Structure formats: structure tokens, C-alpha cells
Amino acid sequence: MTKLRVFAKRLGPPPLEDIGLLNILDFTVPTEIHIYQQLDETEPTLVQKVTFDPEEPIPEPEPEPEPEPEPEPEPDENVLYDSTIHSKLHDGKVRVIEEEGSLKPNGLGVECRASGKPRCMVNEDKTFSLITGTGHGRFYFYVLNYDATLEIECAFWNEAKGQDLSLKMRSRHNEGSGGASGGSTANRFGGYGLSIDRTGWGAKREDFHNQHSQSESGKTPEKPETKKYFTIKFTVKDEGKTVKQTAEMNGKLFMTKVDKTPLPYMVDKSLYEKQSYFWVRENIDSGSGEIRIKRLRILKA
């Protein structure tokens, strides 16, 4: 003997009781149910007819239609680099890397270099970290960044003595036959720099390796807190015969700086098309530091 129970399931929240429609203890002949809807005292309206037949297989519910795929966003010509698009640094596959992608001119690759045994850690939460010991560990991103804005959303993930976030734009720091420590001075411009720590900001021009000029400093609109993300936008752009540098923190402008006497190699765009990069550096006086990065972009300025 086959029993048939037909009921309506009401969806919450909160959880609601089912409504029984039909109970047949000995289900041997086809049974048809008409389902009506009635609002107040209006005429009932037939909504659906359902036939239950013991000789027919139980009908499979109709599958829900597949959602329409969202169209791919149109490439934004103002975005020269986006770490969430042009790298695998946000895939959540935990690993340590020293180099990824192409290091050719504008190859969009990245490498770890300098003192402090720096390493890049890809994190499970789809961020990536610059982890370095005592020294000046950094990432070099091989991205053309002439007349551009560096935008970084990041957080100091711990506290270490001397820890800061140091950014450098328009850099050819390692070019020339002698690398960072040799070769033509005009062929290895260090770049325009900005640093952020828990007390404020500093900005310098690095004429060539470890030779700085035009130093300025001040307070940031907010004090960075451990494990709290903040966004920095650092722009370096030619304006006539000068180079203007601006910086924002969480949308608030805190620096406007103008280089009125750039040397010819600092504004020779053809040099930077041959090879250039920007860097993200972490200076540590003692211990070990981590900067965690949620997103990193280079935008046309």
C-alpha cells in the first residue's frame, strides 16, 4: 500500500509550518489537484493544476535557470596596472615568492630585492604581504609609471622599530653598468619618494642611489593603526618644466610638492620607456615587519 501526502512548504525566515493539502492512505488511482488563489472576497483564481498518478514516475523539479554571466568590464585605459588583474598575488594560494611575471620593460612583473631578506607572502585572505627583517626590503614592480598615480590599500600588520611604508615612482635605480652602486648617474635616477609611518610623512628626490635632495615632511591626516587598512595615492606628474608631487590618505590631500629644478634625465620620458619601475619598500631598524596589501594600482595622472 502506497501513501501519498501533498503539502505546501512555506519559506521563512522565521521558520514556518508546512500546510497539508492532501493525504491518501491507499494511493491507487490518479488524483488531480487544482490550486486556487483568492484575495479577500474576490472570485478564486486558478493558479495551477497538478496530477498525481501512481503509475507515473515522480516528476523531477524543473531546474532553476542558470544566472546570466555578468559581462566582462570594459578595460579602463586609465589603469596602467592593477594587482588584482595583472598578477596572481590575490589568488589566496598561500605561498612565498621572490619573483613573478615578466621583468622586461613594462612587463608588469614583480620581484623582491635589497636588504632584510624580503619576501612576498600570498595570503589566504587574498591579500599579499611584504615581509622583511632589519634593512630596506622592497618590491620592484616593472610597470611604466611616468606621469602616474600610485594607489595602494594596505596596513601595517605588526609593529617593529623604524617601520614605515616607502613608495618610489619614476625609478631607474638599478640601471647602468654598475647597477645601483655604479654606472652613469644620469642613467640611474632613484626617483621621487614618499614615506608614511605612524608619526607622519616624508618626501625626497633621489638623484641617484642614496643621494637625496628636496626633503620635506609633515603630519598625515590620520595615524596608521596596526591591522587597519588605509589608502595612499601618490602622484608624480610633469607640469611645464616642473614635476608636481601630491599625496592623499583616505581621500584627504596632505602633500603638495613641486620640483622646480628637475635634471634633464628626470624628465626624459624615453629613458623610462626603456626600463623603469616603482617600488614598495619597508624600512625596519630591528626585528621583522609586515605590510599587508589589499590592492595596488598605477593610474594615468
pLDDT digits (tens, 9 = 90+) for 200-235: 999 999 998 889 999 999 999 999 999 999 999 999
Q: Distance between CA atoms of 194 and 167, rounded to whole angstroms?
A: 5
**Residue 1's pLDDT is what?**
66
| Residue 138 vs residue 64, higher pLDDT | 138
Mean pLDDT computed over 39-48: 88
Nearest-angstrom CA–CA distance, 257 and 278 = 19
Mean predicted lDDT score pLDDT of the chain: 91
Residue range 75-96: average pLDDT? 94
The DSSP H or E segment spanning 278 is strand 277-284
User: CA-based angle 209:212:213, to the nearest 5?
Assistant: 150
| Per-residue model confidence (pLDDT) at position 178 | 46
Instruction: In whole angstroms, give the CA distance from residue 298 to residue 195.
Output: 17
pLDDT above 90: residue 136? yes
Model pTM score: 0.75
Least confidently predicted of 24-28, 112-116, 198-202: 24-28
The pLDDT of residue 9 is 82
Between these two residues, 248 and 174, which has the higher pLDDT value?
248
The answer to whether 167 and 293 have CB atoms below 8 angstroms apart is no
Question: 86 and 69 in contact (C-beta within 8 Å)?
Answer: no
Mean pLDDT on 50-65 = 77
User: Rounded to an integer, what distance in angstroms lies between the CA atom of residue 220 and that of residue 161?
Assistant: 19
C-alpha cell at 53: 498518478
31 has pLDDT over 90: no
Question: Would you tell me how many other CB atoms lie within 10 Å of the CB of residue 47?
Answer: 9
In the chain, which ranges are continuous DSSP H helix?
83-86, 269-274
Model confidence at 73: pLDDT above 80: no
Please check the confidence at residue 51 and state whether its pLDDT lies above 90. Answer: no
Q: Does pLDDT of 180 surpass 50?
A: no
